[in-house]
Structure 1
Amino acid sequence: MSIDPSSIPNFGGKPEPQAQGPAGPVVPDQDLVKQLLDQMELKYVVDEEGDLAAPWEQFRTYFMFRGEEDQQVFSVRTFYDRPHQIDDKPRLLETIDDWNRRTLWPKLYTHTHDDGTVRLIGEAQMLIGMGVSLEHFVSSTVSWVRAAIEFDRWLAEQLGLEQEADDAEKPDEE
């Protein structure tokens, strides 16, 4: 991937003529995300708030547009459904801090529910109000979805959750 020279500010030098791509910058919308999800062969729904969501077995990824026109933000937010106990929160925070240091996205944080369970949320965002290149939007969105899936696998490995699930499926031997 190369940097579009026209995206680099010109600080007083004579601007060089730039070849403009066929589409130029686009302001992505929900229909564009639906097309992308169709191409990725991912199922999706539109929730009661009008947000687009792609459900997996252990999590849901939402594709949301927020903000005013020129400051609009595209957010890909993943809600991981696996509940964690409040006593496990320090270990969980240490684990997701490790992820956040090692990776660019999604950035993870915890949410503690009223019943004391802790769940994880991952998020990546892009400012789109003034338009972005279609290639950048598509490659970022695809990367964010793949990273959300990878995080779920990574977390299960780090916390030994896959082993616990395997053990739970085995019959008790007495």
Structure 2
Amino acid sequence: MSAPGWLLRVLGGLPKPAKDPHPDDEPPRPLTRDRVGEYLLARGYRFVVDEDGDLTGTWDGSRFWFLLLGDQHEILQVRGRWYRTVPLSQRAALALAVNDWNRERIWPKAYLREEEGTLALYSEVSADLEPGVTDVQLAQLLACGLGTGVQLFAALEQILPADGPPPAVPDN
């Protein structure tokens, strides 16, 4: 009977396996708007730069922004706004649904905002990347912000079905 490989290594019978270089071994680099745009373009996503210089686009009819916040633009925030608005009279029901979401999930943070006499639902995933970020980490954060935001909006659609499909989105 032979000993497992890890035991032989511990006892000096096997050399330590060589570490394979992986793309995720890259050193962290500063967060930039160009890096966020490169990720989005590589996936075939369409977006524009708005008047504030932020990247923005629509996914399933809802608007998402890719914001660089902080003194050195070191904080990445993926913020989504559900395409629908909800009457103020449904605040209690929507607040319960948002609280349930926030209690049961880590991402995205969800919140309501009163805008022009109705309620708007937002999603946010934020990360402080002051020490820099690898391409793999950046991809995970962006995918998390978009994916979980879309999931939140789809879940609320089940609770508060709309009268029709999402509005048509003009080409960006």
How does the TM-score come out when normalised to structure 1?
A: 0.75
1:85 to 61, 68, 87: 87
Match of 2:39 in 1: 36
Matches of 1:55 and 1:75, distance apart in 2: 16
1:154 maps to 2:151? no
The 2-side partners of 1:52 and 1:131 are apart by 19
> Unaligned stretches of 5+ in structure 2?
1-20, 166-172
**Any unmatched runs of 5+ in structure 1?**
1-18, 167-174
Q: How many residues align?
A: 145
Cα RMSD, aligned residues only: 2.2
Name the amino acid aligned to 2:103: R
Q: Is the 8 A contact 2:60 2:150 kept in 1?
A: no
In structure 1, C-alpha distance between the alignment counterparts of 2:28 and 2:59, rounded to whole Å: 31
Query: Percent identity among equivalent residues?
Result: 24
Query: Over alpha carbons, which structure has the higher Rg?
Result: 2
After TM superposition, the structure 1 = structure 2 runs for residues 23-172 of structure 1, keeping only pairs within 5 Å, are 23-69=26-72, 72-113=74-115, 115-159=116-160, 161=161, 164-165=163-164
Compute the TM-score of the two structures, normalised by the length of structure 2.
Answer: 0.76
CA contact 1:58–1:82 (8 Å) conserved in 2: no
Cα drift, residue 57 of structure 1: 4.9
Task: Give secondary structure in 1 for the equivalent of 2:136.
Answer: helix
**Structure-2 separation of matches of 1:43 and 1:55:** 8
Counterparts of 1:89 and 1:55, CA distance in 2? 25
- Which structure has more relative contact order (CA 8 Å, sep 6+)? It is 2
CA separation in 2, counterparts of 1:147 and 1:22?
26
